[in-house]
């Protein structure tokens, strides 16, 4: 396979491998490395002629892999301290430890006996934005290596996991060979890698996920796994990724299925009932990264900020705010939090606030140091006090919103009694409406049992955000509205103890607007 241009990136620096956990450096305990190698040898019957451990750290996987009796072993590590430890601990003429940046050369070119290659290891578990937030100057260059477009590429969807990038590069380097890649990684990374295998038409005979308890192994609360990929010299590919429990790896406990560019958490055509293209544009809430200043509460008719300072400003650009933790009811119209929204669209100049809202301008200026400390590069070169997630859609009168965080989705209609637009933060996703009846019907459809069941089949509940824009935009409202009856909507009202409100004419109008294509990208 020709290396995808989207997988090319400049990787630099040694601090990733500095032994500090804040850089994603979780050295694999020797007993767990041994378990993985024994599994590969005794259960998978792997008999490698050569073993490579990129970013090998202290070399526990390399040491454990000596049970294979391979002819060649290579450990690559940029940290000189780790290299010294490896050479001291692995005094074996078959083992070569190279102090080098793994991305500066081809490890495949080192191998003399390539009958079967095992590439094994535990790359850093950290994203490039996390390193940036920690002030690291040894960052991979943040390029758009998956080819994202527009605002997704600007505001963080192009943020990538370094472990994921390393695995993808290994796949590219060792393509069209009899190579087994076995890597420890977050489960979300493993799913992304499986999707990229399919998307880039890589030749592989199997891709399996063996989930393990990262709390026991590393002392961290994250869904993790051993990802095992059998690359192939032949044109072969599998649409299913089997998922096992590492401690009980004899039987498949679940499967991932790849179909038409999408992943499904359970195989079977029944999961595709409502899959398609959403007629609404799902938006992410506002992003400002300065909650201390921008988010307010109302106490005795006076706004207060997060430092409990009284905030005496004009009311024109202060709006009700809903955060993920507040989305607990299907209809919300009273609020305890508020937010200052400085722009009506991205890149809009904010100088007009100085003349039109002098108290607000002074308040913002008095706290400008906090705005200037915002880490994200998206604010560089932008007008003062800039935000993201703003546009005409943010000022819609009615929204139907959902938290990205919770495993059980609850969709809520949002509106304010004083007719001010309701804002949501960037942990939420929403669609916009001009009238309450249409928003209410959309909320009932989304909270129906069948739609929620479908969502759980296309979302991954162990992810930090199970429900993202990518998941939600797969909801085909035309298919949903053609399938669900008015009785099912009334069942939703009953389930959530809502007063009867939906009517057949209201639902028919919603269905009619869908058919006429009049609700696209509201």
149-160: per-residue pLDDT in tens?
444 444 444 456
List all residues 6 or more positions away from 176 whose beta carbon is below 8 Å from its beta carbon: 1, 203, 231, 232, 233
Q: Is 264 helix (H, G, I), strand (E, B) or coil?
A: strand
Task: Using alpha carbons, list the distances in angstroms from residue 473 to 222, 301, 347, 457, 458.
Answer: 26, 40, 26, 14, 11
- The pTM of the full predicted model, rounded to 2 decimals, is 0.77
Which of 9-23, 41-55, 254-268, 399-413 has the least mean pLDDT? 9-23
- Domains within the chain, CATH numbers bracketed: 5-267 (3.40.50.150), 283-515 (no CATH)
What confidence tens digit (pLDDT) does each residue in 414-424 have? 999 999 999 99
pLDDT of residue 301 exceeding 50: yes
pLDDT of residue 148 exceeding 50: no
pLDDT of residue 447 exceeding 80: yes
**Mean pLDDT on 18-40:** 77
Which of 21-30, 162-171, 359-368 has the least mean pLDDT? 21-30
The residue behind tokens 């006090």 is: 385
Q: Is 209 helix (H, G, I), strand (E, B) or coil?
A: strand
């Amino acid at each position: 396979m020709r290396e995808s241009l989207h997988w090319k990136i400049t990787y630099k620096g040694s601090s990733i491998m500095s032994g500090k956990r804040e850089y994603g450096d979780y050295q694999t305990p020797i007993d767990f490395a041994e378990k993985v190698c024994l599994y590969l040898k005794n259960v998978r019957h792997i008999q490698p002629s050569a073993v490579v451990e990129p970013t090998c750290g202290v070399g526990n996987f390399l040491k454990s892999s000596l049970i294979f009796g391979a002819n060649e072993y290579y450990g690559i590590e940029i940290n000189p301290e780790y290299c010294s430890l490896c050479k001291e601990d692995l005094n074996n003429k078959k083992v070569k430890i190279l102090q080098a940046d793994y991305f500066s050369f081809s490890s495949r070119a080192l191998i003399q006996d390539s009958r079967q290659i095992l590439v094994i290891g535990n790359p850093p578990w950290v994203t490039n934005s996390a390193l940036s937030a920690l002030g690291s100057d040894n960052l991979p260059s943040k390029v758009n290596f998956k080819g994202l477009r527009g605002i997704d590429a600007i505001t963080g969807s192009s943020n990538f996991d370094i472990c994921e990038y390393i695995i993808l590069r290994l796949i590219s380097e060792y393509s069209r060979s009899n190579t087994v890649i076995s890597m420890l990684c977050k489960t979300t990374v493993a799913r992304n890698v499986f999707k990229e295998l399919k998307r880039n038409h890589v030749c592989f005979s199997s891709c399996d996920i063996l989930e393990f308890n990262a709390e026991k192994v590393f002392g961290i609360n994250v869904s993790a796994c051993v990802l095992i990929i059998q690359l192939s010299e032949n044109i072969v590919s599998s649409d299913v990724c089997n998922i096992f429990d590492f401690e009980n790896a004899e039987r498949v406990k679940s499967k991932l299925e790849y179909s038409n560019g999408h992943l499904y958490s359970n195989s079977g055509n029944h999961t595709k009932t409502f899959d398609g293209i959403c007629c609404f544009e799902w938006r992410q809430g506002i992003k400002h990264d300065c909650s201390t200043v921008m988010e307010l509460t109302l106490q005795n008719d006076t706004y207060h900020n997060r430092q409990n300072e009284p905030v005496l400003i004009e009311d024109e650009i202060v709006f009700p705010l809903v955060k993920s933790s507040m989305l607990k009811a299907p209809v919300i119209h009273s609020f305890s939090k508020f937010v200052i929204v400085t722009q009506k669209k991205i890149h809009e100049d904010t100088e007009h606030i100085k003349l039109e809202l002098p108290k607000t301008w002074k308040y913002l200026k008095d706290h400008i140091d906090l705005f200037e400390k915002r880490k994200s590069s998206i604010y560089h070169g932008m007008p003062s006090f800039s935000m993201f997630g703003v546009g005409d859609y943010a000022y819609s009168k009615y929204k139907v919103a959902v938290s990205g965080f919770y495993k059980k989705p609850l969709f809520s209609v949002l509106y304010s009694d004083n007719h001010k637009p309701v804002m949501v933060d960037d942990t939420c996703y929403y669609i916009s409406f001009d009238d309450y009846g249409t928003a209410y019907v959309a909320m009932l459809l989304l909270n129906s049992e069948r739609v929620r069941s479908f969502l759980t089949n296309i979302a991954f509940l162990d992810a930090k955000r199970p429900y993202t824009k990518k998941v939600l935009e797969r909801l085909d409202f035309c298919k949903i509205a053609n399938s669900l009856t008015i009785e099912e909507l009334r069942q939703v009202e009953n389930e959530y103890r809502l007063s009867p409100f939906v009517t057949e004419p209201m639902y028919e109008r919603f269905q009619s607007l869908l058919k006429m294509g009049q609700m696209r990208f509201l």
